[in-house]
Copies of this chain bind each other. A is one copy, B any other.
Amino acid sequence: MGLIVAKFGGTSVASPERIQMVAKRLISIREAGNDVVAVVSAMGKTTDELVGLAAALNDKPPAREMDRLLSTGEQVSMTLTAMAIESFGYRAMSFSGSQAGIETDTEHAKAKITLVHADRIKQALARGVIPVVAGFQGIDGRGDITTLGRGGSDTTAVAVAWGIGADACEIYSDVDGIYTADPRVVPHAHKLAAISYDDMLELSSAGAGVLQARAVEFARKYHVVIHARSSFSDAEGTLIKEADPSMEQAVISGIAHDTSEVKVTIRDVPDQSGVAAKVFSALASNSVNVDMIIQNISEKGHTDLTFTCPGADLPSAREVVERVLPRIHAREYAVDESIAKVSIVGTGMKSSPGVAAKAFSALADNNVNILLISTSPIRLSVVVSASQVELAVRCLHTAFGLDSDIVFEEKMLSAEELAAKENKGR
């Protein structure tokens, strides 16, 4: 007996047939004696299609209109999911972000949840109804619909779980948990039974696509346990929760890579105080999500300033940099779009000296050229050429002893077998 939030991604609701499968799973959770609230993404490629329609009409669609447009995707899938549940003789009711009481700030396309008024959902549960909530969206103080950014449905699920005091927040997708690396790149990657919020947060921020970083942050802040699992099997997935002694004691939890970022270098910047502030406050106020920042050693009073940001933010970043260049008396800037970031993540790094040295040696032994380096207490990221990303991930995975005895395909067996083999593997 529990109260469970179950979130399904776009692939899981891509067709009427898949929506029926989602409905059946929700009903089976219910039949197992639980109360359940569903959170759904938009069907398959709906969001991309809506973006395409907008692009046909306006190069820079107004953010308020864009959010309103995109929010219809989840509003379609939520009603269809509710209809499917009702067709099996159970009661269901859909809730848009606004109806579910998801209140946000006014930052369109990247809104942050400020409050969850879950009264209507609780009332529906009390009446025996299965509530189906539209992911990815909320409503701001002006009554306008906002969206939480791509992947924001995970955040909706965690926020709803917190708002109703759920026992678990199950996030269903086409992968069955969190792996030590992307199994498509590293066939010897293995699935983690559990991972701490901190490590998951670093992995998500570093490009592991399974869970949205903001969702993990929200879960950590409000102590919501996430269970990342597969829509297509009953295997146990990976629990994301507070670090505890039962978790694996490896130095490194996993390796993530991200090919979606670009590198921008501003050359010959005068080495004066206030220059970096000018650049990065201008970028921030234009909503460019700067990731890594590196300033090279100064030569003759001039230096190079390099940062990375999502490729999607590049047009805005170019505009800002071109506007700021004369104000900071810099000469020129260069963009490199063929880069990849590889990150090794693990809370164990704090107490294990030599992680960086080991990583750099492994990369050097394999002739991987490092373009940028950045570190946090539990993460080491290197930027390499996009052409070397798979090699870099594989050699680091091996160097840190993460390779499993068996390759990925063999593992899609059962949770028990997997756990046994994983324990043997280390």
Q: Smallest CB–CB gap between A145 and chain B, Å?
A: 8
On chain B, the residues within 8 Å of A76 by CB distance are 50, 53, 69, 72
Q: How many copies does the complex hold?
A: 2
Q: Is the CB of A79 within 8 A of B69?
A: yes
Q: Would you call A58 an interface residue if the criterion is a C-beta within 8 Å of the partner chain's C-beta atoms?
A: yes
In contact, B66 and A79 (Cβ under 8 angstroms): yes
Q: Which of A389-413 contact B (CB under 8 A)?
A: none
A396-B71 Cα distance, complex, nearest whole Å: 51
Q: Which residue of B lies closest to A67 (CB)?
A: B79
**Binding-face segment, A83-91, A154-162, A180-188, A351-359:** A83-91
> Measured between alpha carbons, how far is A329 from B58 in the docked complex, in Å?
65
B87 touches A57 (CB 8 A): yes
Contact with B along A55-89 (1 / 0, CB 8 A): 01111011011101101100110111011101100
A16 within 8 A of B: yes
- Whether A16 contacts B93 in the complex (CB less than 8 A), given A62-B83, A72-B75, A79-B65, comes out as no
Query: Which size bracket describes the interface of A in this complex?
Result: 35 or more
Of all chain B residues, which has the CB nearest A19? Answer: B57
Cβ contact of A80, chosen from B54, B82, B93, B144, cutoff 8 A: B54
Please give the distance in Å from A74's CB to the nearest CB on chain B.
Answer: 10
Distance from A129 Cβ to chain B, minimum over Cβ atoms (Å): 11
Is A245 at the interface (CB under 8 A from chain B)?
A: no
Give complex CA distance A33, B68 in Å.
29
Report A8-60 residues with CB < 8 Å from chain B CB: 16, 19-20, 50, 53-54, 56-59
Q: Which of A16, A54, A61, A62 has the most CB of B within 10 A?
A: A62
Smallest beta-carbon distance A105→chain B, Å: 18
Question: For residue A58, which residues in chain B have a CB less than 8 angstroms away from its CB?
Answer: 83-84, 86-87
Closest Cβ of chain B to A117, distance in Å, is 12
Contacts of A87 in B (CB 8 A): 57-59
Of listed A66, A84, A92, residue having the most chain B CB within 10 A:
A84
Could you tell me the distance between the alpha carbons of A20 and B58 in the complex, rounded to whole angstroms?
A: 10
A54 touches B66 (CB 8 A): no
**A94 interfacial by beta-carbon distance below 8 Å:** yes
Instruction: Return chain B residues, CB-CB under 8 Å to A56.
Output: 16
Task: Report whether B68 and A86 are in contact in the complex, using a CB–CB cutoff of 8 Å.
Answer: no
Q: State the CA gap A397–B65 with chains docked (Å).
A: 48
**In the complex, A99 has a CB within 8 A of chain B:** yes
Return the contact of A143 from the options B94, B99, B144 (Cβ within 8 A).
B99
Contact B83 A57 (CB under 8 A): yes
CA distance A144 to B100 in the complex (A): 11
Do A83 and B64 touch (CB < 8 A)?
no
CB–CB B79/A93 < 8 A: no
CA distance A83 to B53 in the complex (A): 10
Closest 7 CB pairs of A and B: A16-B56, A69-B79, A72-B72, A58-B83, A58-B87, A65-B79, A57-B84
24 contacts between A and B (CB under 8 A): A16-B56, A19-B57, A20-B57, A54-B79, A57-B83, A58-B83, A58-B84, A58-B86, A59-B87, A61-B86, A62-B82, A62-B83, A62-B92, A64-B93, A65-B93, A65-B94, A68-B75, A68-B78, A68-B79, A68-B96, A69-B79, A71-B75, A72-B72, A99-B143
